[in-house]
Amino acid sequence: MSSSPSAPAAPTRPPLRISLTILHLAAIGVLGWVVVAILCALFALGLGTIILLGIGVFPLIALVYALFGIAWFETERIGGLYRLELPALRPVRQQEPGFPGFLRTMWWQFVDGSMWRAVSSFLITAVLGVIMLTFVQSFLWSAASGLALLFGGDLSALPEYTSIVGLFASLDTPLWGFLSALISLAVTVGIALLHRLITIPLATAGAKAQQLTRQAQASAQQRAGAVRAAEVERTRIERDLHDGVQPRLVSVGMTLGLAQQQIDADPEGAKALIAEAHTSTKSAITELRQLARGIHASVLDDRGLDAALSALAGRSHIPVVLDVRLQGRCSREAETAVYFAIAESLTNAAKHSRASECRVVVRLRDGNTLWARVEDNGIGGARVLPGGGLDGITNRIQAAGGTVRIDSPQGGPTSLEVSVPCAS
């Protein structure tokens, strides 16, 4: 699992971060209200001219773009300031053609929650910036007044400003001036900390919502993969039974019927037919065992993935170089998915690749991901086709919550990589 989007990417020094936050607040406290004034002007212009041949639509569209731009800037600012791994804010894509579809897209963009959370963060920063600038001025004036009083100066020489010192005219002493400066500085730092306390949840709320959306999509994809994998597996079993075991058993039945008819008139011929039926029966049993092994390899449960792959490599029609290094066992679902992905890859290589060798590498990565790579030196050109072997591999791995990467250029080689969480 990836780390939470709200987690800082690297430790930072608090004094430096607070100083940068104060600079951000000062800049947005000064310039932010210019941006707010422009937004208000666009809104008023659009609303005031909306009835005039629809001209007001264009200022309102500009307003939506301006809001998105502010939201994008605020997301990048918060991410850079606090070293947060936030997903980039992306505009809503147009789903319907034409100008009416464009207007509907603008509406969905206007009501987008992620955009408004970032805009709210910007407005809160602007308000906090103005308040903080007041206390910064108070700090500067108080420090200057304390120094002036300490050295026998006259406060009338300082610019007129109402600070904490000015609230208590009878306490115009150097000590009170420095105390006022200290209080103003403390409030300034407190506002910077308050900014962090408010804006980080606003910024990460959208990231968490996107993360939940991605998890829901991955879950839906996983369920769909499980359904498709089950359907492909059912079709394969039906095909193997219909094309292999069923005709052989029908042949056994017919052979035994002929032997029954000839047992009195031609005992030797009947014996030969019975022997033929016996041979066909053993072949059918072998095919049934192979089919059962294709449904589930019992050695996988008994001795683990290493032993199961060793047995699989021993039955392969192509020489297999096996490199399995596992420090422990994974979940049954993960091992089964990887096993059948490798088995199907070797089967495909034997049927289509014209390869003379396959290499299988299996590792346990990060203690929680089962990773495997199958590579052959064949002619390449493998493609994922509905109902095909690679499609079955993809569905089975996705059903286990894993990922698949296939690389098969024309001329080869073909490689397949799968990664499955051990706790799937």
Summarize pLDDT for 365-381 with one digit per residue, the tens.
876 888 889 888 888 88
**pLDDT of 116 strictly over 80:** yes
Q: Helix count (H) and strand count (E) of the chain?
A: 12, 5
Q: How far apart (Å, rounded) are the C-alpha atoms in residues 257 and 304?
A: 45
CA distance 307 to 101: 59
For the chain, how far is it from start to end, CA to CA, in angstroms? 12
Please write the tens of the pLDDT for every residue from 383-413: 877 767 777 788 788 777 888 888 888 887 8
Q: How many CB atoms lie within 10 A of CB 224?
A: 13
pLDDT average, residue stretch 70-94: 83
Neighbours of 214 (CB within 10 A): 11
- The mean per-residue pLDDT over the stretch 197-208 comes to 78
Q: Is the per-residue pLDDT at 334 higher than 60?
A: yes
Instruction: State yes or no: pLDDT of 7 exceeds 60.
Output: no
Judge whether residue 6 has pLDDT over 80: no
- Judged against a pLDDT cut of 80, whether residue 177 lies above it is answered with no
Return the half-sphere exposure (C-beta side, CA atoms, 13 A cut-off) of residue 320.
23
The owner of tokens 């403390």 is 186
Between 213 and 269, the more confident residue is 269
Flag whether pLDDT at 226 surpasses 60.
no
pLDDT tops 70 at residue 153: no
> Per-residue pLDDT for 118 more than 80?
yes
pLDDT of amino acid 238: 64
Q: For residue 156, what pLDDT is reported?
A: 54
> How far is it, in rounded angstroms, from Cα 187 to Cα 238?
76
Q: pLDDT band at 169, cuts 50/70/90?
A: very low
What's the chain's average pLDDT?
76
**Which of the four pLDDT bands, split at 50, 70 and 90, describes residue 293?**
low
Average pLDDT over residues 328-356: 82
- Name which of 32, 14, 8 is nearest 125 in CA terms: 32
Give the C-alpha separation, 165 to 177, whole Å.
Answer: 6
Tell me which of 12-16, 87-91, 328-332 is least confident. Answer: 12-16
pLDDT for position 84: 82
pTM of structure = 0.49
State the Cα–Cα distance between residues 63 and 103, nearest whole angstrom.
Answer: 13
Q: Which sign does the torsion angle of CA 249, 253, 256, 262 carry?
A: negative
**Rounded distance, CA 114 to CA 72, Å?**
10
- Rounded to an integer, what distance in angstroms lies between the CA atom of residue 109 and that of residue 93? 9
- Quick one: average pLDDT of 7-33? 75
* pLDDT tens-digit readout, 227-262: 565 665 666 666 656 556 666 677 777 777 777 777
Q: Which residues contact 210 (CB under 8 A, 6 or more apart)?
A: 87, 114
Q: What is the pLDDT of residue 25?
A: 87
What is the share, in percent, of the chain residues with pLDDT greater than 70?
74
Q: Which pLDDT band, with edges at 50, 70 and 90, does 168 fall under?
A: very low
